Structure 1
Amino acid sequence: MAEHETSKAYAVAILQEVEVGPEIVTYLERIDATLAPFGGRFIIHGGEVTELEGAWQGDLIVIEFPDGAAARGWYTSPAYRAILPLRTAHSKGPAIVIPGVGAGHAATDVLV
């Protein structure tokens, strides 16, 4: 499915084995400033989950951006790249950018 220019996009990570220490604290203290120029904001940042199916492991992080270009721009920005090793050296897990869907999206739209 093609990303629409007006669709919001999301940076999503599932972080596991997070070693909370000075480096992670510095990362958390600095990440908000890297998001602001790209219109990014946390919409999920860990928290208690209610398991409905299967076993959940890790902390879910979801950051909303105005569009995919902004999300990718943030991730590749010098400001974020400078702090990224503070997280990756002290946690594991995948991170992706994925487009959102519009208000009129139906489940069957993925079949097109």
Structure 2
Amino acid sequence: MTAYALGSFRDIVPAAAGAGPHPDIIAYVERIQATLDPFGGRFLVHGAEVEVVEGTWPGNLVLIGFPGPAEARAWYASPAYQAIVPLRTDHVEGVILLVDGVAPGYDPAELAAKMRAAGAAGS
């Protein structure tokens, strides 16, 4: 089952007014792919403009896919990735989430039926 790392970033601190991203952010972007490769991680969304069609979205979105949850967790905990984390966290506010994808053949109607049955059992 595929797993994902989702990052939501906001309040990026520039190097100086009008100078573009901080050099540490550039170094982070340059080095992150090498941390993903051993775990089969690949960017699915990175730097794309977000079109908000409902609600509000305060920032940028990054989505990385992994072959499975073990690979996603191992990547995040890896010494190689942890070594570059401060390059980002010292200059950008945000969150990173690790989330399991759904299995092939997932049917949301089955979940709805379970929800309905649980609601009826609790009545």
Q: TM-score, normalised by structure 1?
A: 0.88
Amino acid at match of 2:86: P
Give the superposition deviation at 1:51. Answer: 1.6
Change (3 A) 1:33 1:51: same
- The equivalent residue for 1:4 is none
- The equivalent residue for 1:8 is 2
Cα-Cα RMSD: 1.3
- The equivalent residue for 1:92 is 93
Secondary structure of residue in 1 paired with 2:93: coil
- The equivalent residue for 2:82 is 81
Q: TM-score, normalised by structure 2?
A: 0.80
Over residues 56-104 of structure 1, what are the superposed CA-to-partner deviations in whole Å (9 max), with x where a residue is unaligned? 2211111000001100100010100000010111111111100011231
Unaligned runs of 5+ in 2: 14-20, 115-123
Give the superposition deviation at 1:109. Answer: 4.0
Name the CA distance, whole Å, in 2 between partners of 1:88 and 1:40.
Answer: 20
- The equivalent residue for 1:106 is 107
1:17 to 2:11 alignment: yes
- The equivalent residue for 2:70 is 69
Amino acid at match of 1:63: I
Unaligned runs of 5+ in 1: 1-6
Give the superposition deviation at 1:108. Answer: 3.3
1:57 to 2:53 alignment: no
Name which of structure 1's ranges 10-19 and 100-109 shifts more when overlaid on structure 2: 100-109
Name the CA distance, whole Å, in 2 between partners of 1:110 and 1:46.
Answer: 33
Any runs of at least 4 consecutive aligned residues in structure 1 with deviations exceeding 3 A, and if so which?
A: 108-112
